[in-house]
Amino acid sequence: MAQELCEWNNTTVRLNLHKGQTAAWDSDRRFVAMLAGTQGGKTSFGPHWLYREIQRKGQGDYLIVTPTFPLLELKLLPSFRLVFERCYRLGRFSGAPLRKFVFSAAGARRLFGARYDPRLETRVLFGHAGKPESLESATAKAAWLDEAGQRQFKAGAWEAILRRLALHMGRVLITT
């Protein structure tokens, strides 16, 4: 039986990364690609990587983009919610009218500590790359692109994501 990626209790989170995950975790590059076969630990790794980016970059908007919303619902969203809602207890996901995760005041205070500003909201916005124009108008600080190698992940989506990250020179994790 494979070892779980994450172990947690009320005060501590411990990651059990394999060699490929460790290489992605340790990279300080702006664009980090984690390419692996089926069950390579890509989708379970992404939420932890994004959590760390949010912790580093501070309050604001972040992006998660998948080729389609059905792919989001299948694996990524349950993995994300496990980490952000159950493990770190940072806030709540809402699926309508916009798919987004909003940090609660308590979650943001816990994550940002003395840097927390109650006037600023922190959100993770979920988009799909099949409709690049749906990704416009946000100013994001980092992005996780899951299954970005699939045909439905359009080049226009990549260009839109780069525009959304330009102001903060946001980092990108690509898992596929």
- The 3-state DSSP composition of the chain as helix, strand, coil percent (nearest 5) reads 40, 25, 35
Task: Tell me the pLDDT tens digit for each residue of 112-154.
Answer: 999 999 999 999 999 989 888 889 888 999 999 999 999 999 9
Q: What is the CATH number of the domain that holds 99?
A: 3.40.50.300
Task: Tell me the pLDDT tens digit for each residue of 74-101.
Answer: 889 999 999 999 989 999 999 988 899 9
* Cβ contact 37:120 at 8 Å: no
Q: What is the pLDDT confidence band of residue 2, given thresholds at 50, 70 and 90?
A: very low
Q: Does some domain include residue 13?
A: no
Q: Does some domain include residue 14?
A: no
The count of residues in the chain is: 176
Q: Does some domain include residue 89?
A: yes
Q: Does some domain include residue 18?
A: no
Q: Does some domain include residue 44?
A: yes
Alpha helices in the chain (DSSP H): 19-26, 42-57, 69-71, 77-81, 105-112, 155-165
User: Which structural domain, as residue segments, surrounds residue 146?
Assistant: 28-112+119-175
Token pair, residue 48, equals 């932890």
Q: Could you give the number of structural domains in the chain? A: 1
Q: What is the pLDDT confidence band of residue 38, given thresholds at 50, 70 and 90?
A: confident
Q: Does some domain include residue 71?
A: yes
Q: Does some domain include residue 7?
A: no
Residue 50: pLDDT above 60? yes
Q: Give 85's DSSP letter.
A: I
Q: Does some domain include residue 127?
A: yes
In angstroms, the CA 111 to CA 122 distance is 11
Task: Record the pTM.
Answer: 0.92
